[in-house]
Amino acid sequence: MSDTHDYKQIGTRPIRPDGVDKITGRANYGADYSLPGMLHGVVLRSPYAHANIKRIDLGKALALEGVYAAVSGADFPDVAAGGMGGEGGGDFKDLASNIMARDKALYHGHAVAAVAATSRELAIEALDLIEVDYEVLTPVMNLDAAMAENAPLLNDKIYTMGVNPKPEQPSNVAARMEFKRGDIDAGFADAEVIVEGEFRTPTVHQGYIEPHACLATMNQGGQATLWCSTQGHFEVRTAVSKTLDMDVCDIKVIATEIGGGFGGKTVIYQEPVAILMSKISGRPVKMVMDREEVFRASGPASATLSKIKLGAKKDGTLTAMSCWMAYEAGAFPGSSMAPGAMCIFAPYKTDNFLIEGFDVVVNKPKVAAYRAPGAPQSMYACESLMDELAYKLEMDPIDLRLKNAVEKGDQAAYGPKFNEVGLRECLIAAKEHPNYSRELTETQGRGISVGFWFNAGMQSSAEVHINENGTVMVIEGNPDIGGSRASMALMAAETLGVPYEKVRVLVGDTETAGFTNVTGGSRTTFATGMAVIQASQDIISQAKQRAAKTWEIDEDQVDWQDGHAVPMPGVNADWEPLSLAKIAAKSGRTGGPLLGRASLNARGAGPGFSVNIAEVDVDPETGKTEVVGFTAIQDAGKAIHPAYVEGQLQGGAVQGIGWALNEEYVYDDKGVMQNPGFLDYRIPVASDLPKIDTVIIEVPNKAHPYGVRGVGETPIVAPLAAVANAVRSAIGIRVGELPLSPPRLLAAMDE
């Protein structure tokens, strides 16, 4: 199926509205704001991965000249337990304890106190004067240790949820979930071929280039203003309100330009600390993490273990799929295990499956969402094993997937039946792509993988203002993390019939824009785009009313064509069409300024499927893997700005390649991360990579006026297994643990 609409502006590649500011250094990011009299806040972090905090004395730090505030957990209000919404979103009480430890430090780098002083250097000097007595405990650093019998407990109030009856003993397993359908035993009994495997993925970081940064000021009336780099300033407002027990209306949050987030800036770390220290000092307080703090105390994504088993007929038809999966949540419950479990078998028609998932606390930083949270890890396991199944069946891996691929009307493993989805189209495009059939050398290998993410809807607001010359101002509430101003402007321009160049987009703060959920979940172009389109339609309906008044005819006698009000066919044909500019110029006498608005809770997000082809060359001498070709194919529904859609596919591919080949947190036996910098936590660099070829498939999502599905998250899901399968093809051995680093591959090849 292809999109037959004839759009004038959607699908073109204009320069983004915020481009000039960002290319000239004018755009202001989180750390770029300053205020007169501003103090610099820094955090004292736990030197132990697991310790009881017996005593904190801030006295000497406070006595230092130039120090205006020092705080520890005791200075923050008690926060009631309560969900932050969203599976894996966690709990506000835990969020508060993550922001500033109360009785216990749960990871190396956990914030235990903070100081604000006239300079950053002075504040750091003051940290040395804070006295903390710790009772050091044994750190629990991985799934095996955390789930072992008699494991040391992080929190003796955690009893495994989802087990009936409630367990008698507390545990590090915070939750167990089960998803199943059909008869798993009968399904495996029915199978002619069975494959099994264990797959591990390491702790990885989102790796945004801009560290967390904020600037807060609170006045004597208790009203706070906060500038911060975030994916969602309305959620920041809620979180600050909960953790500081403040009224939402006393918190104004201004989202600065954001230097990457990938899910890691949907949560907060320093913001309440800065506000509290501003309240205490009566001065603005700026807090900026350094890179080491970003690694040690923000993000990361869960390390996982998946034990998976697939059964199939000789023709490739899947008869049974099962998976036992455990996700590290970090210091507090709430990993992305549930979406991982819901995604793992989503691409395939499957009558019999069983998924058992565990959410496990360990002494590492609390995990944060990372692009399609949970899906890359689980689908790496499934797609690796699908590859083994293809070997065993001596079947082409794409044919195996085509045999089982879901399409409209099939019931997803996570519940509902699919509407139109583009998995088959992606698989066929992969099969036909020249990169799938080109010759490889002896040390090279090719792998493919399917990727999937639900995509999200949720709440958005938008206003469209028409200036007196007919130009357009869009006000919306999603921080622009990858070109969303351009897609909003394109959708407004297309709907209104005005040139893209005449549309400006403002990302409003919490007092300017209507409530809007985070830039995340691949929801911005879909849901906020829908609000912008509806607000533009509101303008059209008002413009038609104004034209009717001007022409002294009934409103239903006015049509809207190409950015102009025109009389309906058969109505007094002498009237010249009225452009938006003409209507706006005289809006004072037809009822005042033109202001369109819309707010909605978008339903009908269109699931996004992808297929990736990876080609690698593994050096038999060193075990180093070079990616020599990579092809990302994805169903976007409709690409509003194709260049930025390609950019999402390419960027996600490279993050996934890093996850597959290089990236991991390395810990010592005391639970201290050994590689908290970009030199040793090596994200891919330009010279590591080939061109990333892209193919955008467009199977429109009928729930969106222009067919949008959302594209940001799916791209990171498939690369892990695509690369792993390519390595398997190159060396003939399956290594079921990421990253596929040179020493690990060399060891496997030497065996």
Partner 1 sequence: MSKIHVVTRVNDEKVEFLCEPQETLLDVLRNKLNLTGTKEGCATGDCGACSVTLDGRLVCSCLTLAAETKGKSVGTIEGVADGDTLHPVQQKLLEHAALQCGVCTPGYVIAIKALLEKNPDPSESEIRYWLAGNLCRCTGYDKIITAVQDLAGQSDKFKEVV
Partner 2 sequence: MAKVFFPDHLMSYCKREREVEVQASTYRELVRKLGARYPGIEEVLLEDVAVAIDGEICHEPYMEKIATDSEVYFLHRLAAG
Closer residue to partner 1 (CB): 513 or 692: 692
Give me Rg for the CA atoms of the chain: 27
417 DSSP assignment:
B
Q: Starting at the edge strand that comes first in sequence, how are the strands of the sheet with 558-561 ordered?
A: 558-561, 564-567, 578-579
Q: Per-residue contact track with partner 1, 630 to 659, x per CB under 8 A?
A: -----------x-xx-xxx-xxxxxx----
Question: Min. distance of Cβ 276 from partner 1 in angstroms?
Answer: 24
Question: Min. distance of Cβ 710 from partner 2 in angstroms?
Answer: 10
Q: Per-residue contact track with partner 1, 422 to 441, x per CB under 8 A?
A: --------------------
Choose the contact partner of 395 out of partner 2, partner 1, none; CB within 5 to 8 A by kind.
none
- DSSP per-residue string spanning 225-252: EEEE--S-HHHHHHHHHHHHT--GGGEE
Q: Which stretch binds partner 2 (CB under 8 A): 126-134, 288-296, 452-460, 569-577?
A: 452-460
Tell me: does residue 259 bind partner 2 (CB under 8 A): no
φ, ψ of residue 564 to 5 degrees: the values are -135, 145
Tell me: does residue 37 bind partner 1 (CB under 8 A): no
CA distances from 254 to 128, 229, 413, 505 (A): 33, 9, 40, 15
- Cα(203)–Cα(193) distance, integer angstroms: 33
Tell me: does residue 262 bind partner 2 (CB under 8 A): yes
Q: Per-residue contact track with partner 1, 270 to 289, x per CB under 8 A?
A: ------------------x-
Find out whether 111 and 101 touch, Cβ atoms under 8 Å: yes
Q: Look at residues 134, 117, 155 and name the one whose alpha carbon lies nearest to residue 45.
A: 134
Q: Which stretch binds partner 2 (CB under 8 A): 25-33, 438-446, 453-461, 735-743?
A: 453-461
Instruction: Output the CA angle 437-442-448, nearest 5 degrees.
Output: 40
Choose the contact partner of 691 out of partner 1, partner 2, none; CB within 5 to 8 A by kind.
partner 1
Q: Per-residue contact track with partner 2, 681 to 720, x per CB under 8 A?
A: ----------------------x--------xx-------
- Cα(736)–Cα(714) distance, integer angstroms: 22
Q: Per-residue contact track with partner 2, 264 to 293, x per CB under 8 A?
A: --x---------------------------
Tell me: does residue 300 bind partner 2 (CB under 8 A): no
Q: Which stretch binds partner 2 (CB under 8 A): 175-183, 246-254, 661-669, 724-732?
A: 175-183
Neighbouring residues of 599: CB distance < 8 A, sequence distance ≥ 6: 459, 460, 461, 462, 514, 515, 531
Choose the contact partner of 19 out of partner 1, partner 2, none; CB within 5 to 8 A by kind.
partner 1
Choose the contact partner of 88 out of partner 1, partner 2, none; CB within 5 to 8 A by kind.
partner 2
Binds partner 2 by CB under 8 A, chosen from 373, 422, 479, 700: 373
Tell me: does residue 476 bind partner 2 (CB under 8 A): no
Tell me: does residue 418 bind partner 2 (CB under 8 A): yes
Other Cβ atoms less than 10 A from the Cβ of 527: the count is 30
Other Cβ atoms less than 10 A from the Cβ of 268: the count is 25
**Interactions with partner 2, residue window 26-85 (CB under 8 A):** 85
- Cα(477)–Cα(467) distance, integer angstroms: 20
Alpha helices in 208-353 (DSSP H): 233-244, 271-281, 291-297, 337-344
Choose the contact partner of 87 out of partner 1, partner 2, none; CB within 5 to 8 A by kind.
partner 2
Binds partner 2 by CB under 8 A, chosen from 472, 605, 708, 745: 605
Cis upstream peptide for 165 (omega within 30°): yes
Q: Which stretch binds partner 1 (CB under 8 A): 91-99, 150-158, 359-367, 475-483?
A: 475-483
- DSSP per-residue string spanning 102-168: SSEE-STT-EEEEEEESSHHHHHHHHTT-EEEEEE-----SHHHHHSTTPPPS-TT---BT-SSPPS
Choose the contact partner of 347 out of partner 2, partner 1, none; CB within 5 to 8 A by kind.
none
**Interactions with partner 1, residue window 238-277 (CB under 8 A):** 257-262
Q: Partners of 348 in the beta sheet?
A: 405
Question: Min. distance of Cβ 72 from partner 1 in angstroms?
Answer: 26
Neighbouring residues of 719: CB distance < 8 A, sequence distance ≥ 6: 376, 449, 451, 612, 614, 630, 632, 652, 653, 654, 655, 656, 657, 659, 660
Binds partner 2 by CB under 8 A, chosen from 48, 199, 370, 659: 370
Choose the contact partner of 598 out of partner 1, partner 2, none; CB within 5 to 8 A by kind.
none
Q: Which stretch binds partner 2 (CB under 8 A): 118-126, 335-343, 488-496, 681-689?
A: 335-343
- Cα(448)–Cα(613) distance, integer angstroms: 5
Binds partner 1 by CB under 8 A, chosen from 91, 94, 210, 476: 210
- Cα(256)–Cα(228) distance, integer angstroms: 6
Q: Which stretch binds partner 2 (CB under 8 A): 31-39, 272-280, 455-463, 538-546?
A: 455-463
Q: Which stretch binds partner 1 (CB under 8 A): 355-363, 477-485, 507-515, 525-533?
A: 477-485
Tell me: does residue 164 bind partner 2 (CB under 8 A): yes
- Cα(17)–Cα(486) distance, integer angstroms: 6
Question: Min. distance of Cβ 602 from partner 2 in angstroms?
Answer: 8
Q: Partners of 226 in the beta sheet?
A: 216, 253
- Cα(424)–Cα(401) distance, integer angstroms: 9
Cis upstream peptide for 499 (omega within 30°): no
Q: Per-residue contact track with partner 1, 179 to 208, x per CB under 8 A?
A: ---------------------------xxx
Q: Which stretch binds partner 2 (CB under 8 A): 119-127, 176-184, 554-562, 738-746?
A: 176-184
Closer residue to partner 1 (CB): 23 or 248: 23
- Cα(136)–Cα(54) distance, integer angstroms: 10
Choose the contact partner of 68 out of partner 2, partner 1, none; CB within 5 to 8 A by kind.
none
525 DSSP assignment:
I
Question: Min. distance of Cβ 692 from partner 2 in angstroms?
Answer: 20
SS3 state at 415: coil
Neighbouring residues of 158: CB distance < 8 A, sequence distance ≥ 6: 170, 171, 172, 173, 174, 333, 361
Closer residue to partner 2 (CB): 197 or 263: 263
Other Cβ atoms less than 10 A from the Cβ of 9: the count is 20
Q: Which stretch binds partner 2 (CB under 8 A): 417-425, 499-507, 529-537, 720-728?
A: 417-425
Give residues in contact with partner 2 (CB under 8 A): 85-89, 162, 164, 177-180, 262-263, 266, 336, 338-339, 342, 369-373, 414-419, 454, 456-459, 517-518, 520-523, 601, 603-605, 703, 712-713
Give residues in contact with partner 1 (CB under 8 A): 13, 15-16, 18-20, 22-29, 31-32, 206-211, 257-262, 288, 290-291, 481-483, 641, 643-644, 646-648, 650-655, 677-679, 683, 685-689, 691-692
